[in-house]
Chains A and B, each alone.
Chain A
């Protein structure tokens, strides 16, 4: 391999200096928040007034991320089993098949997606009621 003199190839990368006059691509995160697109697949929400406890979401979830559990929160009168879904975010892959099969459309994915915790047990997540 020989090094050859290449004047054009040496000078043209100087175009990079133009970047000094451009706005940065990054955003200063904590002060400026990035807007998430509508329809982003983030954390789960579940409207308890609509949820009928059918366990369709549990059935379609191949990752076994969903447990149907008893809860002391108020539930829908049509909820025959009086159970509501709870999700293990160690297993969930946010494929949103569970929301596709939900008959009353109560289970949904929210735009919120940042969750920080010191405890691994917090990965087991109870969908917010909204």
Chain B
């Protein structure tokens, strides 16, 4: 009940917001990049969504944007709100949240490394787990793992005798057919 009031308030206050109820304990709001931090502050102040659980990112390469999702929980942890915003893939920048939430520091550092998103105002965007990485940020869709592996790693020897079963079955059928034809011609 309280949830529907909240949804109504969010809709009234943030006209561009798009709200979807996923489960009894999970809702999702889609909002523009400019109003994102206002919404996070608003739900934190009015509805106790004060825990930042995670910042997730999903690469929609066809639509040319990253979907950043800030996952906020209420203080009693009974309800979770996914606040999603889209940022362009080419110049992926967004303000940092690490000043309000200390845990955002490491989450944003992780996303910076994996997607190349620039978090403006972040105090410490150093490399996290990839040392001296010079390729595309690895979790972007254009980074092809198979190609990377083929270029950089070698494979075990002694496995070249793999047969394409479909082609082989076709070839064998053709041979059989030809044999049968020859036999028929003979008789």
Contacts and interface: CB of A to CB of B under 8 A. Distances in A.
Contacts of B185: none
B169 interface: yes
A48 interface: no
Nearest to A67: B162
Interface residues of B, number: 14
A67 to B, nearest CB: 4
Given A80-B169, A81-B172, A82-B172, A68 B156 contact: no
Contacts, number: 44
Nearest to B161: A69
A53 to B, nearest CB: 6
A70 B159 contact: no
A121 interface: yes
A71 to B, nearest CB: 10
A83 B171 CA distance: 13
Contacts of B164: 68
Interface residues of A, number: 18
Nearest to A59: B165
B158 A69 contact: no
Interface string A86-130: 001010000000000000000000000000000011011000000
B46 interface: no
Given A81-B172, A82-B172, A124-B156, A70 B161 contact: yes
Contact of A81 (B156, B159, B163): B163
B34 interface: no
Contact of A124 (B159, B165, B168, B169): B159
10 closest Cβ pairs, A-B complex: A80-B169, A81-B165, A67-B162, A81-B169, A55-B165, A81-B168, A68-B165, A83-B163, A83-B165, A69-B161
Interface of B: 156-159, 161-166, 168-169, 172-173
